[in-house]
A and B are shown apart, each in its own frame.
Chain A
Amino acid sequence: MKDKIKIVGIVGPDSTRLMGHPQLVVRNFVYSTDVFKTYGKLSPYFRALAEEHRIYATRCAYHGVFLPPRPFCQDCQTPKMEWVDYTNKPATIKTTSICNFAGEAFLDEVPYVLGFIQMGEAKTVMSSVVKLSEEKSENDKLLNVLMDKRRYPELNGKRVVPRFADKPTYTVRDLWFIVEDKDFIESLKV
């Protein structure tokens, strides 16, 4: 076994939480894994996103359009799904939250917006990062205004346009959306 385990601390009996228990050993170890996870039948979506900067939805002839795409219809489970190019369909924010805290992996990105995006006639909404500015510092500033002035609900319903990563990661991070409404963004600057 690799030397992964180390004892980081002997918690002393003077700790108020420990109520006079004798010394307690708390061990620390690093736990990491390399994971190979397939997108399966949705692989074409991620290739199109990364390599062609296109957004594809799937359509069931009977039950409509799904975005995120589904390889089988949510309603009838048929595999007869058609890929449809949704890149240029109108996109609006259904709902959002400005994240000011996050899971460990995203802590260095706060504040950021987790949005749920409605595109075209899709029956479902897709989560995506939403930005007010491509400039990180400017985006942070605008998001702080939305929080400080409690104007965060105003993001809901805004029109957005897609942006694609230059260096693809073959994840949903290859796509994000930016708010189009210039007047709204200007109103945050005063």
Chain B
Amino acid sequence: MTSKPVNVAVVGFGLIPHSKSRPDLSITDMCVEAYNMAKTDVSKQYGKEFGSANVDALVVSYFSDHFAHQLLGEAMIADAFGLNPKRTYRAMGGGATGGIGIQNAYSLIASGMADVVAAAGFEKMSTVNTAEGNEYIALASDTDWDFPNGGYYTAYYAAMANEYMKSFGINPEKFEDQMAAVTVKNRHYAQANPFAQTSLLNPWSVKKSKENVTGEITKEEVLSSKYCATPLRLRNCCLMSDGAAVAILASEETTRKLTDKPVWITGVGMGSDTMRPGDRYDTLGGLIEYDLLLPHEENNPEIVKYYEKLRYPGQNSFRAGRMAAKQAYWMAGIENPVGKINLSEIHDAFGSSEIQTYEDLGYCPYGHGGEFVAAGHANIDGKVPVNLSGGLIGMGHSVGSSGNWQVGLAYLQLRGDIMDVFREYNESVKTLNENRDISLSVQVPNAKRASAHSHAGTGSHVTVTILSNQESDLEEIRPLSGFPSKLIRRVA
């Protein structure tokens, strides 16, 4: 076990409005626009100009060389940011690319290897049509065993959703209603966010379409969209996007000089699972077998009894997500996330996976995620508000940047001025956008802690990052090298 990590805070954030297509911006253009916003964001708090000279390393996260049609894109970003010859790293881990990028930037600072790090994420998916895009993404599944069978990500998640319904005895009418509730919620919150792809405030959103791609959406509209892969309908799926986001992270010492509103990273966790969803053993009592109970579950005999009889993970749950959550909570000293976590950004690639993830994150027992959203517990006034950004369904899924803006928007929530940031941006583009005003607020009052969940493959790797604006939480941080698990036998 090592000593405590250096404390790390997020000190600034910037992003560009997400869109189905941004032909006006190349990949470097997108990143520099987000970077400039992030630098301005830090400068405002600092009271002096914060610039590239203040940054000592860069982590660039982008998923696909295919979409970008560019390998080594990070070199172009470092160049565009004026950071050469300083350190540049690339992070890549499927859908979790952005979350991994943030955690890599965190690790550089926490380990004492860097003081101020820029974490930039981007994806430009408009380079190909949607079917071709699905094929590109499917290349991130097993290309010998799953892809040639017509496998693509919607289908893998859909098959897992069917298994979930079977395991927990939920009929398709009910489950489709519950998944629709996820879309309705996320699309609703997206309307406060001018950077969201489905927001009417976003100048680059599609304004006229019969297919309800922008604005609020009703349950009926979700349920009348066509099936992509049963039980997932078109409007249960996230969106392909062009987008970029940049977060600036700094050590505690530097953070104190930059801002009087620090938002600390108090927990990071990462879990993995097999590439092929079919390779996950369906183990009776698997949650206990893999030592994945959360403290509040361990202390509840009824839940333990229920989990002893539950087959897990098989194809119905994301074990990597649970592992990531357990580590992040342990590191941050969180026993029960409900009540402690005031808002959560979840990788809602599909309505089904948002529901399954409530359970992995311990917001409700396994099998009850659908009820959780249907009862409004994921709403802004619920037990754990989820995806107030709009999520991947409302905000868009610019793969390499998604995990980045999840952390960035949660950071703005904890700073308490997310609506000021949204309003300021909206004012700057208003004339291009029929002078629309923001009429909805997604600021969680007095939010103390947030979690961001970034997810790859069918759960092949998942990151969970905990943010807090509570100084006292810094005392709770434990180094992850001491994480206790039956699955880890320490060398004696």
Chain A positions near chain B (C-beta within 8 angstroms): 11, 16-21, 24, 26, 31, 37, 39, 42, 68, 74, 94-107, 109, 112, 114-116, 123-129, 146-147, 150, 152-153, 155-157, 171-173
Question: With A and B bound together, what is the CA distance between A99 and B227 in angstroms?
Answer: 8
Q: Which residue of A lies closest to B150 (CB)?
A: A106
Q: Is the CB of A103 within 8 A of B152?
A: yes
Q: A102 contacts which of B131, B172, B281 (Cβ < 8 Å)?
A: B131
Q: Is the CB of B432 within 8 A of A96?
A: no
Q: Is the CB of A173 within 8 A of B279?
A: no
Question: With A and B bound together, what is the CA distance between A112 and B152 in angstroms?
Answer: 12
Question: With A and B bound together, what is the CA distance between A116 and B316 in angstroms?
Answer: 13
Q: Is the CB of B166 within 8 A of A157?
A: yes
Question: With A and B bound together, what is the CA distance between A95 and B144 in angstroms?
Answer: 20
Question: With A and B bound together, what is the CA distance between A156 and B251 in angstroms?
Answer: 52
Question: With A and B bound together, what is the CA distance between A166 and B230 in angstroms?
Answer: 30
What distance in Å separates the Cβ of B436 from its nearest Cβ neighbour in chain A? 14
Q: Is the CB of A112 within 8 A of B150?
A: yes
Closest 10 interchain pairs by CB? A103-B135, A97-B158, A95-B163, A125-B278, A152-B230, A106-B150, A104-B131, A103-B134, A101-B228, A97-B159
Q: A26 contacts which of B23, B162, B228 (Cβ < 8 Å)?
A: B23
Question: With A and B bound together, what is the CA distance between A115 and B229 in angstroms?
Answer: 12
What distance in Å separates the Cβ of A55 from its nearest Cβ neighbour in chain B? 13
Question: With A and B bound together, what is the CA distance between A101 and B158 in angstroms?
Answer: 12
Q: Is the CB of B230 within 8 A of A127?
A: no
Interface string of B137-161 (1 = CB under 8 A from A): 1100001111111111011101111
Question: With A and B bound together, what is the CA distance between A84 and B21 in angstroms?
Answer: 51
Q: Is the CB of A127 within 8 A of B154?
A: no
Q: Is the CB of A24 within 8 A of B23?
A: yes
Judge if B451 is at the interface, Cβ distance under 8 Å.
Answer: no
Judge if B351 is at the interface, Cβ distance under 8 Å.
Answer: no
> Contacts A95-B315, A102-B152 hold; do A156 and B163 have CB atoms under 8 A apart?
yes
B155 surroundings in chain A (CB, below 8 A): 97, 99, 102, 114
Q: Is the CB of B229 within 8 A of A101?
A: yes
What distance in Å separates the Cβ of A5 from its nearest Cβ neighbour in chain B? 12
Question: With A and B bound together, what is the CA distance between A155 and B166 in angstroms?
Answer: 11
Q: Is the CB of B228 within 8 A of A129?
A: no
**B residues 212-265 in Cβ contact with A at 8 Å:** 226-232, 234
Q: Which residue of B lies closest to A152 (CB)?
A: B230
Question: With A and B bound together, what is the CA distance between A100 and B227 in angstroms?
Answer: 6
Question: With A and B bound together, what is the CA distance between A157 and B229 in angstroms?
Answer: 18
Judge if B276 is at the interface, Cβ distance under 8 Å.
Answer: yes
* Residue from B149, B152, B160 whose CB has the most chain A CB atoms within 10 Å: B149
B19 surroundings in chain A (CB, below 8 A): 17
Q: Is the CB of B149 within 8 A of A74?
A: no
What distance in Å separates the Cβ of B194 from its nearest Cβ neighbour in chain A? 14
Q: Is the CB of B172 within 8 A of A68?
A: no
Judge if B12 is at the interface, Cβ distance under 8 Å.
Answer: no
A104 surroundings in chain B (CB, below 8 A): 129, 131-132, 134-135
Given A68-B145, A97-B156, A103-B147, 16 more contacts at CB 8 Å?
Answer: A11-B23, A19-B24, A19-B204, A24-B24, A31-B69, A42-B144, A97-B155, A97-B229, A99-B228, A100-B226, A101-B226, A129-B149, A152-B230, A152-B231, A156-B163, A172-B148
Q: Is the CB of A99 within 8 A of B166?
A: no
Judge if B207 is at the interface, Cβ distance under 8 Å.
Answer: yes
Q: Is the CB of B281 within 8 A of A123?
A: yes
B419 surroundings in chain A (CB, below 8 A): none
Q: Is the CB of A153 within 8 A of B166?
A: yes
What distance in Å separates the Cβ of B134 from its nearest Cβ neighbour in chain A? 4
What distance in Å separates the Cβ of A66 from its nearest Cβ neighbour in chain B? 8
Q: Is the CB of B165 within 8 A of A98?
A: no
A123 surroundings in chain B (CB, below 8 A): 281
